[in-house]
Structure formats: structure tokens, C-alpha cells
């Protein structure tokens, strides 16, 4: 039976995390000159050569078993200094030298086995014991150990070390970390900046209309602060915690996509500043906040607000590592969120991660939260006739991946119910020419005018769908090059459970306009990307990336053409290419310069989703910039 090892010159946690393989050398000898009919003994020593001199190693409670292969009867022996020479079946401590001895064994063919905690029971298949003693060296192989955990930087011991190395700001297991990323850029078709906008202005924008210089925030990395902790516990288990938030360096405000919408509510389109959609909505910890337990052998289980499995994959396999200035899949979370950018982070979620050798596995589940608002299929509904709805916005996902030499790959599946996409600010009374996008009911986009009106102040307008997405991504390192590629297939349908006016959106915002039947038929999206990162030297990288998105024609009847006019339900495409150079002056400070160009066509070039279809003011954007980043 398996037993624990003690007094070995290996870490004390070996019983839970087999970090070293054991080699047991069994020295077999017996007195000669004895007739075959006489019983003999089988002594030996269990050693760990990885600890140094074999005679100085001990093995506590190591069970050695010899089995007569002719009778299949096993005789377990626990080697103890007091009882060497007597066959024992109970488990006791071995001697300080790991010695054992089986006595009074009849002639026969025997199998010798070693049992120890967390190791495979294995041994010498055949030892012939007869009147003439046989001596020899036999090996008992343990299970191959798991690979060591990736090394982490040591804690900073001085200010000079902080300036010159990548040491961490750690005190009693608690680490503070963060980044500050800012630059100056120019865009060919942009808008006035919005202090809540954390994604910058590199991607083509539906409302962009003029070329301008601007402060470019969060180009390679989101500016922000975080705190994490890992406290060791019993038997190799640790308690883990992480909390982080994004801050906009151009304004000092928390990253808040929803506020970029509400700041423009009621204004004519010509007066807009940047309005975006995203998972950060001004929460105190708008990136992540979670806690849990971790074991090198059994994996990590955490709960709270966490990045989706798609976001984890994006950060690993995007050549630009999700940098807003140079990455479409970083700027727009459609890929990471499995269909909608707000789902790149999940509230009320549990996540499990496990690594076994070169293979890793992940699973994630989101519990439903918030409220569903009040729903009615009638264009003349009132507060008395609508039906209160419950939130059914649960979600789940799985990840399977691995490493083989210089190749890494992952496959991710995600499903999200009642996913919300916020496309444009609510057009209020100042936008009389397009009143159909003012506050609308939950089913047919008719304006709501009456005592049950929910005003546009601090509320958002959303389209609701049930989403599925499958991601396949890989990267390969060759000499100074790192090659990246990925593909995602997304299918979206109108929600099985509708949301109503007043339903919850992220960050405490509510929806005064809701569409549950925006899709005429199933909407299909394909997102792909590729790129290469070249290490010019140990301080300088050059990165080129190309991203694409295709949308099917889900309009019914299918009447999409330049002559008939396009709507957002027509087939379309989006493409973005980027090139940038990043030079590390120190371990913590790097400077970068680059450019991005993006353009849209067809249904993806429609700015406002309702007929007759209001197009982008300009369908392309060119965005060069230069900036710097400091991390700690």
C-alpha cells in the first residue's frame, strides 16, 4: 500500500507534489554453499541517489514487497533497525540507511516491489532465489515528476534593485503590481477624446469624422494597479487572491465603456465624443477580483470576477498581446468574449485550471445575476401589462491545450446566455430625425412614450443574443521569430429568455432600450488573426499582425446590395493590420512606435442597426503613434 516518505533529502511536500523521481537500488546477495532445498534471505537497501551519498539516505515507511511468481503470494516487509531478519506485514519506519531484509524465503522466482506515496508501484520483475545466492543491482522507477512551476521574480531588496531588475514589490507574500502606458498619436478619422475611454482611437470608428492629434492611452497594456497574494498552507496547498483595476492615464478616471455611452446620450451624432463597448464599466476592480485555492498537483480553483477563457487565450496567442493600439482582438472583445465584448470578463464566476506535464485544462462557469427587466410583445405595453423577467445570463466554457517543444496550442469553447451588446448612445429628443433609436421596448424597437418611460439619463441601449464560440490558436518559436495564428467561429441567436426594459447591464447600469429579436436568422461570425514577432536583439522586438472578421448575411429577406442598401444584418468584413517596434531601455521601462490601419465593408460598415441603415461616416482609419510604458 502507498506510504509517505520521510527523512529524505527532498522537499517535505513530496507526498502531494512528486517533483523528483526516486531511484531504488536493491542490493541482492545470499550466502553460498547452501543446498537448493534450504530457505534463504533477501536483504537490500532503498536509496535516493539524487540526494547525494546513498548510504546517508533514509526512507521512512517505505514498503518493499516480494511476490513468489509461482504462488502469487506476497510478503510485504517494512525495514526497521529492530526487526531486520523477520518478515513483517505492518508499516513501520525504515532504518536510517533504508535497509530491509526478507528471511526464510523458499527457493523460487520472485518479484520485488517498492510502494511509496504519490509514486507508481513498480519494481524488479524477476529475482531467482535458490541455494546459490544471487547478488545484483535492480532499479525501481518512480512516476515521471511534474514539470517545475514557472519561476517568478524575487522580491525587491532595495531601490537600486527595483530600478535595475524585474523584482516584485512583495511583503509577507502580498505583491503590488501595475503599469502606466501613454503616448501621442494621430488618427485620420477620429473624434474628441472621452475621459472614460480606455481603448484609444486606433480602430475604425462608426462615428469618426476628422483627422486629429490626441493623447493615446493604454497602447501596449492597460494602465492600472493590482494586488495579489499567495499564502502557503498544509500539504502543498496555497490560498490565492488577485484584484486589479484599469485607470485611464489621460484623465485619471476608471476605465468605463458604459460611461462613454451615457455621456453621449441625447446628443446629436455630430456632437459625439468616443463611445465604445467593453467589459470595464467603472467597477472599483474593473479587470478582476477573485480568491481561491491552488495546488501544484490538483490545480487552481478561484471564484469572483474573472477574465474569460477566451481572454486568457487571446493574451497568449495574440502577436500584439492584446495591446489596444495594435490589436483588433485586444481593442474589440468580440473574439475574447465569444461574440460580445462585454463578456471578456465574467462576474459571479468560478474557474478551474490544471496542468499535467505538457497538457493543461480549464473550465469556467458563470452564475446568473442581475434582473431581467419588464418584457412585453405589444407596442402599446404599459407597466401594468408587461411581464417581469428573471436574469438567465449564466455561461460556461472549457479550454484544452498543450506544449510540444517550441509549439503551443489551445482550443476553447464558450457559451453565454443573454449576452448584451451596446452599439450606440441613446438618441434622445435632440435627435428628432432618428427617433426610432430613442428609448424602445423589448421586442419591436417601437418608441416608448408614456408613464412607464425610462429616461436616457445614465442608461444604455442593448441588443441581446445567446452566443457560442470555438477558438483554435497556436504559436511557434523559431530562432528569433515567434509565429502566431488563430481562428474563432461564433454563432449567435435571439435569446431563449428575453430581457425587458430596465434589465441589468454590467457595472450597475440598466437598459432603457432592449432588442431581443434583432436577428432575422442565425448570425455567424468568423474571426482570424496571424502575425510574427521578431527579436532584433535582447531588448528590441518588431511585431507585425493582421486581423480579420467576416459576418454572414442573416437578413430576411436577403436583399443586401449597393442598390437596395445595406443594413447591419448584411454580410460584411473588417480588417486591421499593424506594425510596431518596442525597445526596453530597462527591465521596467520601454518605448514603442508603430501604426495601425483598419477598414470595414458591407453590413459591418453600418453604424446604426435599424433601417434604412445608417453607415459609418468613414469606413477606414489610419493611426500612427509613439509612446512609453512603465511596469512594476
For 174, the grid coordinates are: 502580498
| Closest by CA position to 120, among listed 13, 22, 16 | 22
For 28, the grid coordinates are: 541482492
- The H or E element spanning position 30 is none
CA distances from 67 to 102, 136, 242, 579 (A): 11, 18, 52, 68
Confidence of residue 109 (pLDDT cuts 50, 70, 90): low
Q: What is the pLDDT of residue 89?
A: 37
Q: What is the pLDDT of residue 218?
A: 97
The CATH number, out of the four listed (1.10.3720, 1.10.3470, 1.10.260, 2.40.160), of the domain defined by the range 308-618: 2.40.160
pLDDT mean over 118-130: 44
pLDDT mean over 129-158: 46
- 3-state secondary structure (DSSP) of residue 53: coil
pLDDT mean over 291-316: 96
The C-alpha R_g of the chain, in whole angstroms, comes to 32
Report the length, in residues, of the chain.
632
461 neighbors 513 (Cβ within 8 angstroms): yes
* pLDDT digit string, tens, across residues 383-438: 677 788 889 999 999 999 999 999 999 999 999 999 999 877 775 443 334 333 33
Which burial class, exposed, middle or buried, applies to 36 when counting CB atoms under 10 A from its CB (0-12, 13-18, 19+)? exposed
pLDDT mean over 579-597: 97
Q: Please enumerate in sequence order all residues whose Cβ is within 8 A of that of 485, keeping only pairs 6 or more positions apart, or say none.
A: 317, 473, 474, 475, 528, 529, 530, 531
Question: In angstroms, how far is CA 63 from the centroid of its own chain?
Answer: 42
Pairwise CA distance, residues 498 & 444, whole Å:
12
pLDDT mean over 9-24: 33
Q: What is the pLDDT of residue 373?
A: 86
The CATH number, out of the four listed (2.60.40, 3.30.1050, 2.40.50, 3.30.70), of the domain defined by the range 12-141: 2.60.40
Q: What is the pLDDT of residue 475?
A: 98
| Closest by CA position to 275, among listed 457, 505, 455, 460 | 460
Please state the domain extents for the chain: 12-141, 308-618
Pairwise CA distance, residues 429 & 22, whole Å:
77
Q: Which residues pair with 185 in a beta bridge?
A: 214, 625
Secondary structure letter of residue 35 according to DSSP:
-
**155 vs 502, higher pLDDT:** 502
- Give the least confident one: 108-117, 209-218, 468-477, 575-584: 108-117
For 389, the grid coordinates are: 423577467
pLDDT mean over 331-358: 96
Is this model's pTM higher than 0.95 or not? no
Confidence of residue 613 (pLDDT cuts 50, 70, 90): confident
Q: What is the pLDDT of residue 558?
A: 80
Instruction: Using the predicted structure, report yes or no on whether residue 139 has a pLDDT greater than 60.
Output: no
Amino acid at each position: 500500500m502507498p506510504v509517505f516518505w520521510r527523512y529524505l533529502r527532498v522537499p517535505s511536500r513530496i507526498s502531494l507534489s512528486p517533483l523528483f523521481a526516486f531511484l531504488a537500488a536493491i542490493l541482492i546477495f545470499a550466502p553460498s554453499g547452501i543446498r537448493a532445498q534450504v530457505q534463504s534471505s533477501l536483504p537490500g537497501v532503498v536509496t535516493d541517489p539524487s540526494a547525494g551519498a546513498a548510504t546517508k539516505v533514509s526512507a521512512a515507511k517505505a514498503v518493499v514487497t516480494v511476490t513468489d511468481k509461482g504462488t502469487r503470494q506476497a510478503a510485504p516487509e517494512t525495514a526497521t533497525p529492530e526487526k531486520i531478519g523477520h518478515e513483517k506485514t505492518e508499516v513501520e519506519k525504515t532504518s536510517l540507511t533504508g535497509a530491509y531484509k526478507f528471511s526464510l524465503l523458499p527457493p523460487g522466482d520472485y518479484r520485488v516491489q517498492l510502494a511509496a506515496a504519490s509514486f507508481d508501484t513498480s519494481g524488479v520483475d524477476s529475482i531467482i532465489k535458490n541455494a546459490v545466492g544471487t547478488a545484483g543491482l535492480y532499479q525501481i522507477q518512480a512516476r515521471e515528476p511534474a514539470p517545475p512551476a514557472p519561476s517568478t521574480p524575487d522580491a525587491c531588496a532595495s531601490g537600486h534593485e527595483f530600478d535595475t531588475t524585474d523584482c516584485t514589490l512583495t511583503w509577507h507574500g502580498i505583491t503590488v503590481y501595475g503599469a502606466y502606458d501613454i503616448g501621442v498619436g494621430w488618427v485620420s478619422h477620429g473624434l474628441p477624446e472621452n475621459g472614460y475611454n480606455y481603448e484609444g482611437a486606433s480602430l475604425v470608428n462608426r462615428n469618426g469624422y476628422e483627422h486629429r492629434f490626441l493623447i493615446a492611452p493604454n497602447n501596449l497594456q492597460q494602465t492600472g494597479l493590482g494586488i495579489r497574494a499567495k499564502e502557503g498552507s498544509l500539504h502543498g496547498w496555497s490560498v490565492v487572491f488577485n484584484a486589479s483595476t484599469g485607470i485611464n492615464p489621460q484623465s485619471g478616471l476608471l476605465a468605463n465603456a458604459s460611461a462613454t455611452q451615457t455621456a453621449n446620450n441625447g446628443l446629436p451624432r455630430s456632437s459625439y465624443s468616443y463611445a465604445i463597448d467593453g467589459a470595464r464599466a467603472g467597477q472599483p476592480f474593473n479587470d478582476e477580483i477573485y480568491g481561491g485555492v491552488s495546488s501544484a498537483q490538483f490545480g487552481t480553483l478561484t471564484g469572483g470576477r474573472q477574465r474569460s477563457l477566451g481572454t486568457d487565450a487571446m493574451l497568449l496567442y495574440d502577436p500584439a498581446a492584446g495591446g489596444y493600439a495594435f490589436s483588433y482582438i485586444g481593442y474589440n472583445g468580440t473574439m475574447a468574449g465569444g461574440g460580445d465584448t462585454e463578456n471578456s470578463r465574467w462576474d459571479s464566476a468560478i474557474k478551474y485550471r490544471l496542468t499535467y506535464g505538457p497538457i493543461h485544462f480549464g473550465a469556467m462557469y458563470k452564475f446568473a445575476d442581475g434582473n431581467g427587466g419588464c418584457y412585453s410583445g405589444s407596442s402599446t405595453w404599459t407597466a401594468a401589462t408587461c411581464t417581469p423577467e428573471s436574469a438567465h445570463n449564466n455561461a460556461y466554457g472549457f479550454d484544452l491545450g498543450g506544449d510540444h517543444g517550441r509549439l503551443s496550442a489551445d482550443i476553447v469553447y464558450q457559451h453565454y446566455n443573454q449576452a448584451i451588446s451596446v452599439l450606440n448612445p441613446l438618441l434622445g429628443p435632440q435627435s428628432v430625425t432618428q427617433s426610432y433609436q430613442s428609448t424602445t421596448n423589448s421586442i419591436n424597437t417601437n418608441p416608448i412614450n408614456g408613464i412607464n418611460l425610462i429616461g436616457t439619463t445614465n442608461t444604455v441601449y442593448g441588443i441581446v443574443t445567446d452566443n457560442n464560440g470555438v477558438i483554435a490558436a497556436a504559436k511557434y518559436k523559431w530562432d528569433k521569430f515567434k509565429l502566431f495564428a488563430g481562428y474563432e467561429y461564433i454563432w449567435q441567436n435571439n435569446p431563449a429568455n428575453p430581457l425587458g426594459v430596465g434589465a441589468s447591464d454590467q457595472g450597475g447600469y440598466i437598459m432603457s432600450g432592449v432588442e431581443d429579436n434583432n436577428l432575422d436568422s442565425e448570425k455567424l461570425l468568423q474571426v482570424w488573426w496571424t502575425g510574427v514577432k521578431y527579436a532584433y536583439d535582447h531588448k528590441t522586438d518588431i511585431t507585425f499582425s493582421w486581423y480579420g472578421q467576416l459576418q454572414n448575411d442573416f437578413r430576411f429577406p436577403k436583399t443586401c446590395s449597393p442598390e437596395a442598401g445595406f443594413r447591419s444584418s448584411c454580410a460584411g468584413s473588417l480588417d486591421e493590420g499593424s506594425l510596431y517596434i518596442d525597445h526596453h531601455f530597462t527591465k521596467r521601462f520601454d518605448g514603442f512606435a508603430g501604426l495601425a490601419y483598419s477598414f470595414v465593408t458591407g453590413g459591418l460598415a453600418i453604424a446604426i442597426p435599424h433601417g434604412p441603415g445608417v453607415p459609418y461616416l468613414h469606413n477606414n482609419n489610419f493611426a500612427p503613434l509613439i509612446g512609453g510604458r512603465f511596469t512594476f
